[in-house]
Structure 1
Amino acid sequence: MSLIPVTILTGFLGSGKTTLLKRILTEAHGQRIAVIENEFGEENIDNEILVADTEEHIVQMNNGCVCCTIREDLRETLSDLAKQRKAGTLNFERVVIETTGVADPGPVAQTFFMDDEIAELYLLDSILTLVDAKHGEQQLNLRQEARRQVGFADQIFISKTDLVTEDEANALAHRIKHMNPRAPQKRVHFGEVPIAEVFDLKGFNLNAKLDIDPDFLKEEAHHGHNHAHKHDQGCGHDHAHGEACHHPHHHAHDDDVKSFVYKSTKPFSATKLEDFLGSMVQIYGPRMLRYKGVLHVSGMDRKVVFQGVHQLMGSDVGPKWASGETKVSKMVFIGIELPQELFQAGLDQCLA
Structure 2
Amino acid sequence: MCKIPVTVVTGFLGAGKTSLLNHLIFDYPNKKFAIIENEFGEENIDSALVKNIQSEDIFELSNGCICCNLNQDLIVVLQKLVESKHPFNHLLIETTGIADPGAILACFISDPIIKNQFELDSVICMVDAKNLGSDLEKEEVLSKQIAISDLILLNKVDLINDTDKDSILRLLRNQNQQAEILECQFSKVENAELLDRFSYKTEKVFQHIFGLETNMNNKSAKNHHTIQNMLFTCNEPLDQMKIGMWLDAFLQFNQDTIYRVKGILNLKGVQNRIVLQSVHTQIKATIGKAWEPDEKRESKIIIIGKSLNKKVIEKNLLELKA
TM range (shorter): 0.7 to 0.9
Q: Which residue pairs with 1:161 in the alignment? A: 157
Distance in 2, matches of 1:273 and 1:79, equals 34
1:295 matches 2:290? no
Partner of residue 77, structure 1: 77
Q: 1:94 to 1:345 in 2, by over 3 A?
A: same
**Cα distance in structure 1, aligned partners of 2:291 and 2:169:** 34
Q: Name the CA distance, whole Å, in 1 between partners of 2:15 and 2:69.
A: 21
Counterpart selection for 1:277 from 209, 234, 247: 247
Q: Secondary structure at the match of 1:158?
A: strand
Equivalent-residue separation in structure 2 for 1:188 and 1:26 (angstroms): 17
- Tell me: CA distance 1:247–1:201, structure 2 relative to 1, closer, same or farther (3 Å): closer
Aligned to 1:241: none
Is 1:60 the equivalent of 2:69? yes
2-side partners of 1:322 and 1:210: how far apart? Answer: 19
Residues 301 and 181 (structure 1), Cα distance of their counterparts in 2 relative to 1, 3 Å cut:
farther
Partner Cα separation in structure 1 for residue 111 and residue 236 of structure 2:
37
Where do residues 5-24 of structure 1 align in structure 2 (5 Å cutoff)?
5-24=5-24
Instruction: Provide closer, same or farther for how the CA distance between residues 50 and 187 of structure 1 changes in structure 2, counting only shifts above 3 A.
Output: farther
Cα deviation digits, residues 273-329 of structure 1 (max 9, x gap) = 223222212311343211101223344443221010111112122123456554332
Which residue is 2:287 aligned to? 317
Q: Equivalents in 2 of 1:180, 1:294: separation in Å?
A: 20
Unaligned stretches of 5+ in structure 1? 64-69, 223-232, 235-245
**2:223 equivalent in structure 1:** 249
Code of the residue aligned with 1:266 in structure 2: it is E
Deviation at 1:8, TM superposition (A): 0.9
Cα deviation for residue 154 of structure 1 reads: 2.1
Which ranges in structure 2 are unaligned for 5 or more consecutive residues? 51-61
The answer on whether the counterparts of 1:133 and 1:161 sit within 8 Å (CA) in structure 2 is yes
CA distance in 1, matches of 2:179, 2:23: 22
CA distance in 2, matches of 1:79, 1:343: 39
Task: Give the share of equivalent positions with the same residue, in percent.
Answer: 27
What is the aligned-residue RMSD (CA, Å)? 2.9
Q: 1:137 & 1:338 partners in 2: Cα distance?
A: 22
Q: Check the 8 A contact 2:266/2:297 in 1, yes or no.
A: yes
SS at the partner of 1:149?
Answer: helix
Instruction: Work out the CA distance in 1 between the residues paired with 2:44 and 2:273.
Output: 45
Q: 1:34-113 residue pairs with structure 2 within 5 A? A: 34-39=34-39, 43-48=41-46, 51=49, 54-61=63-70, 70=72, 72=73, 74-85=74-85, 90-113=86-109
Partner of residue 173, structure 1: 169
Residue 80 (structure 1) shift: 0.7
| Local SS of the residue matching 2:315 | helix
* 8 Å contact kept, 1:82–1:121: no
| Residue aligned with 2:2, SS | coil
- Given that residues 217 and 330 in structure 1 are in contact (C-alpha distance below 8 angstroms), is that contact kept between their aligned partners in structure 2? no
CA distance in 2, matches of 1:190, 1:323: 52
Give the whole-Å Cα distance in 2 for the aligned partners of 1:148 and 1:297. Answer: 31
Equivalent residue for 1:217? Answer: 212
Determine the structure 1 residue equivalent to 2:58.
Answer: none
Describe the shift of the 1:294–1:153 C-alpha distance in structure 2 as closer, same or farther (beyond 3 A): same
Cα deviation, 1:175-233, whole Å, max 9, x if unaligned, reads 3223222322222233333797422222334x4554565654234389xxxxxxxxxx9
How many residues are aligned here?
A: 311
C-alpha separation in 2, matches of 1:343 and 1:306: 17
Structure 2 residue 173 is the aligned partner of structure 1 residue 139: no
1:278–1:38 Cα change, 3 Å = closer
TM-score, structure 1 normalization: 0.78
The aligned counterpart of 2:2 is 2
AA matched with 2:9:
L
1:259 pairs, out of 229, 248, 251, with: 229
Aligned to 1:351: 321
Give 3-state SS (helix, strand or coil) of 2:65's partner: coil
Greater Cα shift, 319-328 or 177-186 = 319-328
Which deviates the most, 213-222 or 116-125? 213-222
CA offset at residue 342 of structure 1?
1.8
Q: Which moved more, 1:149-158 or 1:281-290?
A: 281-290
Query: CA contact under 8 A between 1:217 and 1:331: conserved in structure 2?
Result: no
Residues 158 and 187 in structure 1, CA contact (< 8 A), matched pair in contact too: yes
**What letter matches 1:60 in structure 2?**
N
Partner amino acid, structure 2, of 1:187: E
